[in-house]
Amino acid sequence: MFAKFQLLGVLASAALLVSVSGSPVVARTCDTSGAVMDLPSGQTALVSPTTAPLFVLLGVGVQNYSCSSTTSIYAPPEFASIQTTAFDAWSAAPAGTTATSIGSTVSAPDLLGFHYFVPSPSGTGISPMWDFTSTGSFAGDSSAFVIGAKVGDIAAPTDPATNVDWLALNNVQGSLASKIFRIDTVGGQPPTSCVPGSAPISVKYTAKYFLY
């Protein structure tokens, strides 16, 4: 399984654009000092840092799944539900619509960069990467990226059968951020069953990403 999506900068310390697996990300330049993650109480897997985030991003894209015989399948007031507004627009968009274009429907029109997967620095498997090296004010800065390793994982508090997990990741390479959180996910879970050997399955989703 791998994710492919565009990141739209909703609250960012700089005017930038980001994307995953070639998907662009959009941003709006705002003060992030008051941005706070709304994490579920009673859990310890995701712990909010005490510092302000560097970036608050809206991810718009798809979760991609391969089927095998062993696979089962702060901000303006509108910020609280921006992931749902974006998902509704993304879900209703006709085939061929790019994730980047969804940004204009939620006032996040700027591309910050790219988010995709790369071979893991550990030498085993793949790892997620947030890459700002080719866009916005970071263009040409070869260190403006972060590769993360998951350190926390909880089921989505609402409709976990439909919405992918919330995650916490630590930096293992790059200088863009030290910690990454994926929260407020909408969609992205695979079907409950599939036919082994069938074509890859792409499931639309949106999420918020906080980079510290």
Kindly write down the DSSP assignment for every residue of 69-93, as one continuous string. Answer: TT-----SGGGGGHHHHHHHHHHHS
Dist CA 3 CA 63 (whole Å): 4
- Beta 201-211 vs 55-65: how paired, if at all? antiparallel
pLDDT in tens for each of the 212 residues of the chain?
344 445 555 544 322 223 333 344 444 456 777 788 999 999 999 999 999 998 888 887 777 777 765 433 344 556 778 888 888 988 898 888 877 777 777 766 667 777 788 899 999 888 988 888 887 778 899 999 999 999 999 999 999 999 999 999 999 999 999 999 999 999 988 888 878 878 878 888 888 899 99
Residue 163 in tokens = 């919405």
Residue 3, SS3 per DSSP: strand
Rounded distance between C-alpha atoms, residue 104 and residue 89, angstroms: 10
Beta-carbon neighbour count of residue 85 at 10 Å?
18
Return d(Cα 149, Cα 169) in angstroms, integer: 5
- Residue 104 tokens, joined: 């204009």
pLDDT tens track for 117-156: 889 999 988 898 888 888 777 889 999 999 999 999 999 9
| pLDDT score recorded for residue 175 | 95
* pTM of the complete model beyond 0.75: yes
